[in-house]
């Protein structure tokens, strides 16, 4: 049985979970408390990071490398198109969300508000929360600008870029940190992706002591 060592509110794990589910690859989810840096995790991945995917005897790490591999070995449905320019755009946007959005928004909001509580690593830093709350507006506006020109973020097909973005936004939505009224196009896009069967497992996530808001799992939010 394939296993994914993950944490429910890791956007990188969520990107891999969405990819696995779209491709109907069955996987057992194993919670990994990565902040405890135990020896088992380092044995599975010397980088000490999640997600780690165990398929057969092999361990796979680094979410983008995992998703590219899965898309090559299990090509249906394709999450990265064939055309080189379209592939570039998918990868550019994956980096946008996994680097820039993560640093400017996810780290400031989710880490401060929720992960510090879960990992018992101190108290929220108000300055970082305000910074994240300011930055998310620009990112939502940028997404809306893209969606004015395209049906999905990277083009007219749903791709890995949509999963990268939805992985971050769904974690933030768990902490009520997304103002869905700001950009109706982004809300419509999220409603489409949220209603996919591959999203169900994410909507069922529950962090003990920190339940999600009611709208989190509601398809009509």
Cβ proximity to its own copies: between 139 and 187 the closer is 139
Q: Considering the complex, what minimum distance in angstroms separates the CB of residue 21 from its own copies?
A: 20
Q: Considering the complex, what minimum distance in angstroms separates the CB of residue 52 from its own copies?
A: 11
Cβ proximity to its own copies: between 134 and 204 the closer is 134
Contact present, 55 and 2 (Cβ < 8 Å):
yes
Q: Considering the complex, what minimum distance in angstroms separates the CB of residue 145 from its own copies?
A: 9
Cβ proximity to its own copies: between 7 and 96 the closer is 96
Residues forming the site for its own copies (CB under 8 A): 46-47, 49, 60-62, 64-66, 68-69, 72-73, 84-85, 87-88, 91-92, 94-96, 99-100, 142
> Cα–Cα–Cα angle for 207, 166, 81, nearest 5°?
140
What are the tokens at 91? 């990868």
Sequence-ordered strand ranges (E) for the chain: 3-6, 28-31, 52-55, 58-61
Strand order in the sheet with 28-31: 28-31, 3-6, 52-55, 58-61
C-beta neighbour count of 4 within 10 angstroms: 22
What are the tokens at 78? 């394709």
Cβ proximity to its own copies: between 99 and 218 the closer is 99
Cβ proximity to its own copies: between 3 and 192 the closer is 3
Q: Considering the complex, what minimum distance in angstroms separates the CB of residue 48 from its own copies?
A: 8
Nearest CA among 73, 155, 173 for reference residue 113: 173
Q: Considering the complex, what minimum distance in angstroms separates the CB of residue 195 from its own copies?
A: 29
């Amino acid at each position: 049985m394939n296993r994914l060592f993950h944490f429910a509110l890791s956007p990188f794990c969520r990107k891999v979970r969405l990819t696995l589910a779209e491709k109907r690859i069955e996987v057992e989810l194993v919670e990994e408390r990565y902040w405890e840096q135990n020896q088992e995790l380092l044995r599975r991945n010397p980088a000490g990071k999640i997600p780690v995917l165990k398929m057969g005897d092999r361990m796979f790490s680094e979410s983008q490398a995992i998703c590219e591999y899965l898309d090559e070995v299990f090509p249906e449905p394709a999450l990265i198109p064939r055309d080189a320019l379209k592939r570039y755009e998918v990868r550019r946007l994956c980096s946008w969300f996994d680097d820039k959005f993560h640093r400017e928004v996810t780290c400031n909001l989710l880490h401060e508000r929720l992960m510090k509580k879960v990992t018992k690593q101190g108290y929220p830093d108000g300055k970082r929360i305000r910074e994240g709350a300011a930055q998310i507006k620009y990112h939502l506006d940028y997404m809306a600008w893209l969606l004015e020109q395209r049906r999905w973020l990277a083009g007219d097909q749903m791709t890995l870029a949509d999963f990268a973005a939805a992985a971050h936004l769904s974690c933030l939505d768990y902490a009520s940190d997304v103002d869905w009224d700001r950009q109706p196009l982004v809300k419509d896009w999220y409603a489409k992706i949220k209603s996919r069967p591959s999203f169900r497992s994410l909507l069922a996530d529950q962090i003990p002591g920190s339940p999600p808001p009611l709208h989190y799992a509601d398809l009509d939010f």
